């Protein structure tokens, strides 16, 4: 039978491990998940008609732009964390293309803040970079799914699948948001808003799945805490 001291240490370690699974700022992947979650939330609530009526179109546009900045910061961190100069595997290309896509969204959401654009100017300054960003996301999502194809039903596989669905939704939204020059109206504004929110919801789910530590990192944290008496560094647990 384990002694009381051993049982206490085990309980403390379990509590530390449980807390560390969701609160782990020492891990780069945790920050990636947090930043993507904030950006996704902005794109999730931005298309809601009630928000536009409540805060106005200008503030609503700022919400999208801020969300795109969080997307870019998360994508940049993911790209750096994946290894800037390491051999270029599928995951490296996925991260790189995703980062490029977020920059396109920065451009499109910033230009969308400009007032008085006609249909041609809107398509050139806002829709074109938005479409390019959506294409980058689709390519990135495809590469991510292929990269984890042998790890079916794992957390990484589910993250890739959910994010890919979000990329598809963003692509549909981009098509629906095209402004027809002859009419000055979007092809399907309601559809663009719906699929933007659906895509953002998928990205939000994927980002939240990044927050808990992996079983390997949890085991490493518990082992270092109990056996070595210290908390492992980011490099050791990520």
Mind giving me the DSSP string for 191-217? Answer: HHHHHHHHHHHHHHHHHHHHSSPPHHH
Instruction: Report how far apart, in Å, the C-alpha atoms of 201 and of each of 14, 64, 175, 196, 221 are.
Output: 31, 14, 19, 9, 31
pLDDT of residue 81 exceeding 80, the answer is yes
Ranked by mean pLDDT, the top range of 56-65, 82-91, 150-159, 164-173 is: 164-173
Domain boundary assignment for the chain: 28-227
| More confidently predicted of 21 and 188 | 188
Within 8 A by CB and 6+ apart from 21, the residues are 211, 212, 213, 218
Mind giving me the DSSP string for 95-129? Answer: HHHHHHHHHHHHHHHHHTT-SS--HHHHIIIIIHH
Q: What is the pLDDT of residue 49?
A: 81
pLDDT of residue 19 exceeding 70, the answer is no
Q: What is the pLDDT of residue 124?
A: 87
Q: Over the stretch 184-216, which tens digit does the pLDDT of each residue have?
A: 899 999 999 999 999 999 999 999 999 986 544
pLDDT of residue 236 exceeding 60, the answer is no
Closest by CA to 131, choosing from 107, 113, 110, is 107
Directed axis angle between helix 128-147 and helix 90-111, to 10°? 160
pLDDT of residue 226 exceeding 70, the answer is no
Q: Over the stretch 94-129, which tens digit does the pLDDT of each residue have?
A: 999 999 999 999 999 999 998 778 888 888 889 999
Q: What is the pLDDT of residue 95?
A: 95
Residue-averaged pLDDT of the chain: 83
Backbone φ, ψ for residue 178 (5° rounding): -60, 130
How far the first Cα of the chain sits from its last, in Å, is 34
Within 8 A by CB and 6+ apart from 3, the residues are none
* Contact (CB, 8 A) for 179 and 186: yes
Q: Compute, in degrees rounded to 10, the torsion defined by CA atoms 216, 221, 227, 233.
A: 120
């Amino acid at each position: 039978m384990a002694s009381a001291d051993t049982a206490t240490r085990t309980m403390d370690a379990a509590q530390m491990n449980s807390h560390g699974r969701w609160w782990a700022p020492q891990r780069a992947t945790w920050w990636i998940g947090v930043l993507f979650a904030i950006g996704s939330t902005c794109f999730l609530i931005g298309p809601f008609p009630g928000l536009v009526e409540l805060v106005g179109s200008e503030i609503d546009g700022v919400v999208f732009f801020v969300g795109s900045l969080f997307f870019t910061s998360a994508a940049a961190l993911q790209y750096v964390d994946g290894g800037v100069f390491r051999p270029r595997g599928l995951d490296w290309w996925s991260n790189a293309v995703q980062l490029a896509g977020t920059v396109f969204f920065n451009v499109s959401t910033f230009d969308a803040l400009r007032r008085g654009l006609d249909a041609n100017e809107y398509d050139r300054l806002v829709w074109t970079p938005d479409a390019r960003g959506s294409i980058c996301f689709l390519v990135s999502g495809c590469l991510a799914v292929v990269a984890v194809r042998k790890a079916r039903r794992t957390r990484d596989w589910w993250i890739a699948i959910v994010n890919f669905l979000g990329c598809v939704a963003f692509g549909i939204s981009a098509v629906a948001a095209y402004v027809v020059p002859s009419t000055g109206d979007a092809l399907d504004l309601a559809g663009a808003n719906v699929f933007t929110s659906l895509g953002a919801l998928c990205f939000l789910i994927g980002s939240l799945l990044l927050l808990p530590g992996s079983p390997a990192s949890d085991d490493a944290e518990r082992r270092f805490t109990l056996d070595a008496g210290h908390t492992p560094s980011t490099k050791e647990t990520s």
